[in-house]
A and B are shown apart, each in its own frame.
Chain A
Amino acid sequence: MAKKRPIALLSELASHKETFGGDMPLAPGHRMCIGCGIPPIVNEVLLAVDKPTVVATATGCLEVTTGVYPVTAWNTPWIHVNFQSTGAVIGAIETAYKVLKKKGVIKDDEDIEFVAFGGDGGTYDIGFQSLSAAVERGHNFLYVCYNNEGYQNTGYQKSSATPIGAYTKTTPVGKARVGKQEPRKDLTMIMASHGIPYVAQASPHVFRDITKKVRKALSFKGPKFINVLQPCTLSWRFSPEDTMRLAKLAVETLYWPVYEVINGRYWKVNIKPKRVKPIEEYIAAQPRWKHVLKYPEIVEKIQKEVEEKWNLLLHLEEMSKKLAEDEGIDYEELFKAPEDKK
């Protein structure tokens, strides 16, 4: 973290028409923290959608900072109902669209895309039932989780995405216990187990990857899920200008593998760091977590979790190639972005 480099301003990114093509779906003037990882994620996702988009958002940081009566930062139809219902809400809007179009009530030829955002609280925990059910019903929507590994909107309590040993207000570091006792839940794997057309993990520092993944996701009809790691400057307690650096480090240490899964059957790891950085470097960059460096047994557990998951992913990838070959499917073609398809 010695050398600090400011990231490009979002307004600059937005005006870069060759890349993004114009207006930001999420307008400047929202109330998210300086250095928050959410706005780049939301804009990266929505700028990749080239059709009119209806957005639903779970309660959480994104919601309370972008729609503050009587103003709104949303340049696209937007709804928030509550923490736990976002899957049901976006699914019902999509169904309403389908019925009204069938009935001839809506006559527009142009298709609408349906995108939902939720934090890890609204996605891994309180909203999981509703999301799982909406996915099982097969609605046509993309759900994006901005995963900041804790309940940040309420001041940082643990979620099931919080890593082992991390400090949160409900898992403090004390004499008897050191932070969260349990390892994080792997929601991406759980979503892949639903067998839906497209599931991916992504990191905001590689926005081309997110753009590609969103376009790839939207090339499928049905439910799609992308889990994006969102470093939280406020609760992880790093300097606001380091957000993207943290995201990059998470990928370089294999803490947050960037990969995609098609139909819950074919796996592809998108980023394979040439030189894997030690997990300690990522932990040390986060004051919420760095105390675990004093406890070798916890670091060992983290290291083991990360290595095991990475190995599993590599094996799943190899297995997928073999599976595709057996089934006569072109593995590389399968993962190509829609615009790069033959």
Chain B
Amino acid sequence: MAQKKVIALTGNQAAAEAMRQINFDIAAVYPISPQTELMGFFAEYVANGEVDTEMIAVDGEHSAMAACIGAAAAGARVITASAGPGIAYMVENLYVASGMRLPIVLLDVNRALSAPLSIHCDHADSMLTRDSSWISLFSENAQEAYHNIIMATKISEKALFPIIVNYDGYIVSHSIEDVEILDDETVRNFVGPSDIHRIPYPLLDIKKPVTYGATAQPDYYTECKYQQHVDFLKVYDIVREVFDEFAEIADVKYDFIEEYKTDDAEYIGISMGSSFGTLKDVVDILREQGKKVGAIKIRLFRPFPVKEVAEALSKAKGVAVLDRADSFDGIGGPLFKDISTAVMMSQNRPFIHNFIYGLGGREVKEEDFLKAFDRLERLEKGIETRDRFVEYLQVRE
């Protein structure tokens, strides 16, 4: 039976704790705020001999991901972490990693992209990864970040796709919360031991030489991508399986999305990451006023749980999609387009509107989301009109 203890930890400390317990073979590290101190905490474990992990302090994030690819292909269990511009710098290699079907864990401590330079939170960095065939999980708080890292390790190895665990920079990474920590043995049993044969073709199986990273001409490239496409669709079942297995050790049952008071909700707000707590508070405030509102959090961002979201929105009148990143495409934020697809698939196709919030660490307050619900209702009822689908909350015009 799993032993648990509750400790006050920051998000970065909780993540470092998960890394210590999993005892990765390789951690490729390169500092960037707000991820920096995570690897600093982990380096202490390495320095004190509490883990077998070999840290490779590389020359930049591009090399960090390259190191992960090399080590994962060798057969090692690998992790790296970054944020904002660091994620942008490694994007080329993200596609290489997933194309090679390598299990790798990447922690994205979400940060805005330059320019202007901002070290603070938004989800623009993660949106660079959304088409890269990486599995992507978002965490609301330190507890979820800790759980997600443990689950992600297993999901990635079962699916043979790399995986990103997102948690909000500073808001989660640097805030202290109570985090329930599992005992080391339970975590290690859950993820299983190191073994190069966790992947079908380890480079270090010297008796069976394999070629990684071949070039493919037009006669084969499509078939390679099609296999990737088909297998990425299988990720849904694998994620559910691992969520279910994890429920047995952690007494918490995760799902692709988290619904809050959506059963009879007419208006639903959707967000990802740390703002979901604020969103739930706003739902409670509006419920007290007699409004039938609810909220949805996206936990599994890639592959996108389009069916589950469609089902959850099937009875709603209006949906406010809260995006912590802009797409600058004349349509709306990245999450808005994913939710729009789900809306198209839902029974009654509710009215949908997009709000951009929390860019570059802008603090998110209840009044902001109250404003979003209010605007959504007025638009849906025809009291107010719109000439575009997207608008900024919290902005000085």
Contacts and interface: CB of A to CB of B under 8 A. Distances in A.
A69 B53 CA distance: 34
A130 B26 CA distance: 18
B116 interface: no
Nearest to B194: A105
A15 interface: no
B215 A100 contact: no
A72 B215 CA distance: 10
A-side binding surface: helix, strand, loop or mixed?
mixed
Contact of B71 (A52, A84, A96, A102): A96
Contact of B70 (A96, A110, A133): A96
Given A70-B220, A82-B92, A88 B204 contact: no
B93 A82 contact: yes
B206 A77 contact: yes
A252 B209 CA distance: 40
Interface stretch (B59-67, B230-238, B374-382): B59-67
B285 interface: no
A217 to B, nearest CB: 20
Interface string B51-86: 011101111101110111111011110100000000
B53 A99 contact: yes
A77 B203 contact: yes
Interface string A68-83: 1110101111111110
Contacts of B92: 82
Nearest to B67: A92
Given A68-B214, A96-B204, A77 B67 contact: no
Contacts of A137: 56-57
Interface residues of A, number: 46
Contact of A77 (B209, B215, B217): B209
Contacts of A132: 59
Interface of B: 25-26, 28, 52-54, 56-60, 62-64, 66-71, 73-76, 78, 92-93, 96, 193-196, 203-206, 209-217, 220, 224
Interface in A35-91: 52, 54, 56, 63-64, 67-70, 72, 74-82, 84-85, 87-91
A100 B56 contact: no
Contacts of A67: 211, 213-215
A79 B60 contact: no
A68 B53 CA distance: 35
A157 interface: no
B66 A82 contact: yes
Contacts, number: 161
A81 B96 contact: yes
8 contacts: A63-B213, A81-B213, A84-B62, A88-B56, A92-B67, A96-B78, A108-B206, A112-B206
Contacts of B206: 52, 54, 77, 108, 110, 112
A103 interface: yes
B220 A81 contact: no
A133 B63 contact: yes
Contacts of B74: 54, 92-93, 96-97, 100
Interface of A: 52, 54, 56, 63-64, 67-70, 72, 74-82, 84-85, 87-93, 95-100, 102-103, 105-106, 108, 110, 112, 129-130, 132-133, 137
Given A90-B70, A105-B193, 10 more contacts: A67-B213, A74-B209, A79-B73, A82-B93, A87-B63, A88-B67, A96-B75, A97-B204, A99-B25, A106-B204
Q: Enumerate the 5 nearest inter-chain pairs by beta-carbon distance, A residue then B residue, closest first.
A: A85-B66, A133-B59, A80-B213, A92-B67, A67-B214
Given A81-B70, A88-B66, A76 B209 contact: yes
B25 A63 contact: no
A79 B204 contact: no
Contact of A88 (B63, B203, B210, B217): B63
Contact of B26 (A69, A79, A96): A96
B63 A100 contact: no
A149 to B, nearest CB: 23
A342 B206 CA distance: 33
A77 to B, nearest CB: 5
A108 B204 CA distance: 10
Contacts of B78: 96
A92 B194 contact: no
A16 B331 CA distance: 67
A130 B66 CA distance: 10
Contact of B220 (A64, A69, A72, A105): A69
A79 B212 contact: yes
B195 A92 contact: no
Contact of B196 (A70, A79, A84, A100): A100
A133 B75 contact: no
B98 to A, nearest CB: 13
A100 B25 CA distance: 7
B194 A93 contact: no
Contacts of B68: 92
B215 A63 contact: yes
A88 B215 CA distance: 20
